[in-house]
């Protein structure tokens, strides 16, 4: 409560499901609320908590995540962005490196950052910091334009960027452990902080309803698409997957029904993003040739939202760890299976 909390996950889940149902605007600070705040809460010094948490909760500080690099995506421990001592400010550092696929960096004031502080050890050579990006010396943010025409991702370059020792989370060399806290919340944050239409239970349910509504407006052989047995079977199969995922997610409310803390977050991320992709693909098949019409075309079914959803859905199965990586983690760490 002293840090601005006081509720519980159940109430938060209900609130966010209702906001999703009402189609509230995109939650721009999802990284700040869903990943940065819990990581700061668990690992930062008290003074840093007091400085940063209120701004995250109020929405005054937008955050981004600096993990992936051009040469280290799935192999997160191979990051090369590094800190070296700052001769002009003893005890502090200079940051040099290159982060990529950084969502929201073009809006963000702060970044959670995994950096290399030693080259002698792969995992133990990593440390975790928070760094200001907006207007901070040596930081360059370059938006990456997606095939949708949007600028959702960015590359961020650091050139002798000042970093204070007080901005470190956890101990030097223990950044990997701190990053696991972030990833646990990242993969489990979907139902809590997902924007409308995402992989949260109500977001997926909305997409199923949207798919049914679309089928009612499209025609197959002169009749509504909903009367086509193949279309009905396709939608039914997707709706069953959505309901199964939603019911499985309810198990998270009882710790006694979950045997591993990563099981449900990984399942939600893996199954939810792949279902999102399959829903969008089904919509384009139902639209037929009209699926080539995009947002700006008034003739586009459903205002052209489904082609946009389809193109964005591929990023969802890559971000926060590819589906292949999720399956490896589930098999090796959760189920205890040997590496292939």
The span from the CA of 11 to the CA of 293, in Å, is 40
CA-to-CA separations, 324 to 189, 271, 274, in angstroms, rounded: 20, 12, 11
- The token duo for 326 is 């999720």
Is 60 among the residues known to form the active site? no
Catalytic residue, chosen from 186, 202, 242, 287, is 186
β 126-132/93-99 pair status: unpaired
DSSP 129-175: EEEE-TT-TTEEEEEE--TTS---EEEEEEEEEEE-GGGEES-TT-H
β 110-116/63-66 pair status: parallel
Say which DSSP state 317 is in. T
DSSP 206-271: HHHHHHHHHHHHSEETTEEGGG-HHHHHHHHHHHHHHHHHHHHHHGGG-GGG-SSTTHHHHHHHHH
Active-site amino acid positions: 186
């Amino acid at each position: 409560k002293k840090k601005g909390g006081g509720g519980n996950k159940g109430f938060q889940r209900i609130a966010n499901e209702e906001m999703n149902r009402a189609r509230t605007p995109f939650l721009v600070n999802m990284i700040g609320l869903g990943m940065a705040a819990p990581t700061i809460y668990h690992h930062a010094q008290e003074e840093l908590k007091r400085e940063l948490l209120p701004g995250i909760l109020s929405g005054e500080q937008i955050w981004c995540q600096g993990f992936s690099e051009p040469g280290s995506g799935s192999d997160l421990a191979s990051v090369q962005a590094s800190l070296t001592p700052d001769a002009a400010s003893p005890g502090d550092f200079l940051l040099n490196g290159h982060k990529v696929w950084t969502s929201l960096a073009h809006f963000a004031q702060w970044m959670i950052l995994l950096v290399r502080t030693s080259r002698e050890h792969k995992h133990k050579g990593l440390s975790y910091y928070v760094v200001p990006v907006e207007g901070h010396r040596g930081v360059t943010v370059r938006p990456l334009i997606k095939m949708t025409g949007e600028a959702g991702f960015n590359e961020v370059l650091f050139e002798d960027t000042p970093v204070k020792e007080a901005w470190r989370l956890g101990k030097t060399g223990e950044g990997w452990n701190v990053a696991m806290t972030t990833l646990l919340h990242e993969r489990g944050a979907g139902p809590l902080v997902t924007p409308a239409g995402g992989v949260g239970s109500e977001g997926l349910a909305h997409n199923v309803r949207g798919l049914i509504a679309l089928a009612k407006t499209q025609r197959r052989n002169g009749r509504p698409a909903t009367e086509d047995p193949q279309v009905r079977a396709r939608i039914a199969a997707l709706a069953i997957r959505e309901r199964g995922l939603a019911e499985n997610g309810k198990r998270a409310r009882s710790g006694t029904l979950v045997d591993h803390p990563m099981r449900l977050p990984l399942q939600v991320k893996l199954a939810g993003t792949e279902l999102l992709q399959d829903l969008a693909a089904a919509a384009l098949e139902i639209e037929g040739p009209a699926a080539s019409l995009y947002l700006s075309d008034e003739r586009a079914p459903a205002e052209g939202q489904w082609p946009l959803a389809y193109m964005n859905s591929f990023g969802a199965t890559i971000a926060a760890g590819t589906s292949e990586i999720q399956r490896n983690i589930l098999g090796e760490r959760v189920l205890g299976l040997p590496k292939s």
